[in-house]
Amino acid sequence: MATQRSESNPGVRFEPNESPPLAITAGLGFQFAVLTITGIVLTPAIVIRAAGGTESYLSWAVFAAVLVCGTTTILQALGKGRIGAGYVLLMGTSAAFISVSIGAIAQGGPAMLGTLVVVSALFQYALGAHLSLFRRILTPTIAGTVIMLIAVTVMPIIFDMLDDVPDGATSSDAAITVAATLVVIIPVALRATGALRLWAPVLGVFAGSAAAVWVGVYDFELVREAAWLGLAEGSWPGLDLSFNATFWSLLPAFVFVTLVGAIETIGDAIAIQGVSWRQQRAVDYRAVQGAVNADGTGNLLSGLLGTVPNTTYSTSVSVTELTGVASRAVGVAIGVIFLGMAFVPKLVALILAIPGPVAAAYVTVLLAMLFVLGMKIVIQDGIDYRKGLIVGVSFWIGVGFQNGVIFPEYFSEFAGGTLQNGMTAGGLAAMILTLFSELTQSRSRRIEMHLEVEALPKIIEFLEEFAARHRWEGAMLDRLGAAAEETLLTLLREDEEGEGADRQLRLTARKRDGRAILEFAAASEGANLQDRIALLGEPTAVGVERDMSLRLLRHFTSSVRHQQYHDGDIVTIEVEAP
């Protein structure tokens, strides 16, 4: 993110650390919960019914999913230690896991699903702990491609549900319920504005359910038999610790989807920070790490309880921006309401009784938006012919493997059939092509030293060698030296204001598109330089010497990006050749 003047967001009524009146807190918590409970319940219902699971297991899985979503939503809001973002990030069951979860239940049963989710959650913890190390591997290009392929792998399953009606019903009954659902969702989503647009999926499901009642395919018996209050009728399915061939063949796809879900969480954690403060500030990647760790905790709990994994819902960002209320108290209220809903079986049964065609129509719209979200992620990252080629080739490789048309005689049994999943095949192709593109670019140079003023001569000598390698001299060399000097001095002043601990500095230099990119990596400490630079000229900016140093840094560079992680502090500056 390039440096820029600080901007205000007057639409924010309550910042995260402020407490709104109890009525507002409870009202928004209830709105969030009602808006998303349908999706939280329908995702495990679709997975288990498509995999041929029992109604007893479905009852337990839904109960466990709502419990986990409530618990992790509270964790996200509180942000204690390194778990939780400290923002309103609603957690819900993840549609990205539909395809792999169906495969796990169908091939190994609910216990196999639980084991796979637990193991893949450990990878998410590793990502959260070392997020700074993975920032060049899990790129938006790879994430966007995999998200598009999620829709490709799930849509055949959803289309099979379009005529899933009880015995005695006709295909025209299914068509009526599907049409009623889509006729409400799509026009409301296209034409409505503000809060009404957010309610489009809920209104569509309500309309489809009403049509199902009219044609006689809504299961009232399920609702009548459910108690008003109590626990789930099913029982814990346990874990499958045999670690057989089925486990190893399914694990790569689960890990892949888990990492993609983490990337979605990263995006939501960044976006929620942008709508939660009156005065815009640089992204705090420590909060992002907390969000990923809370997501991993949710997946770990989901696996232990034997239900489908969860993820952050982007609805959190939309509703927060719309209402202007970003208080952590709202996040806690949402979680508490979810926990209460888990113990109301009749409410859950009301959602589970929704016919398959209505659920299929609802998920079709969500998956269509998920596909578009994948495209948006790729485009927003900036697309050139290299990225375009990676996305295009990887996407169609994924489609080919998903449909079993790419040399099935060789690949159908390869690695236990792992490549039969289009998302895994396409994701691996995107990762391999991205790594090849990175490795064949101009080689970066690196030097390590103590973070101290005596390091400046070493840095200047290092930059002279780097500039000579790329035939830069004169004004460009002077600009590189000046920018590096001001960055070093600014980091040293942060040390003086903090604890002054002995820190190592790693400087990496590389050339890209005619620009020099310098990356200063040290242990996390001090305030964010982007925020300091953004405040230049504001009444709150203090310290003439520091102010001058930051002004010079802004002058010599075209961009300054400061990423603060729990495990490191990374300042990346770009210097344009004169």
Those residues of the chain that have pLDDT short of 50 are: 1-6, 498, 500, 529-530, 533, 535-544
| Residues 298, 308: Cα–Cα separation, whole Å | 10
Both tokens of residue 324? 């202007």
Helix (H, G, I), strand (E, B) or coil at 532: helix
- Beta-bridged to residue 231, according to DSSP, are none
Rounded distance, CA 257 to CA 253, Å?
6
The alpha-carbon radius of gyration of the chain (Å, integer) is 26
Cα(6)–Cα(560) distance, rounded to whole angstroms? 14
| Per-residue model confidence as pLDDT tens digits over 423-438 | 778 888 988 898 888 7
How far apart are the C-alpha atoms of 286 and 525, rounded to whole Å? 12
User: What is the average pLDDT value for the chain, to the nearest integer?
Assistant: 82
Domain ranges of the chain: 22-138+218-355, 383-440, 445-576
Do 100 and 257 contact (CB within 8 A), yes or no? yes
Q: What pLDDT does residue 177 have?
A: 93
Return the pLDDT at 298: 95
CA angle, residues 94, 118, 112, in degrees to nearest 5? 90
Count of C-beta atoms within a 10 Å radius of residue 514: 9
Q: What is the pLDDT of residue 526?
A: 55
| pLDDT for res 291 | 93
Global confidence as pTM: 0.74
Assign domain 445-576 to its CATH architecture: 2-Layer Sandwich (3.30)
Burial bucket for residue 183 (CB in 10 Å: 0-12, 13-18, 19+)? middle
What pLDDT is recorded for position 112?
95
Q: Is the dihedral of CA 115, 117, 118, 120 positive or negative?
A: positive
Task: Give the DSSP letter string of 475-495.
Answer: HHHHHHHHHHHHHHHHHHHHH
Quick one: CA dihedral 508, 510, 512, 518, positive or negative? positive
pLDDT at 547: 57
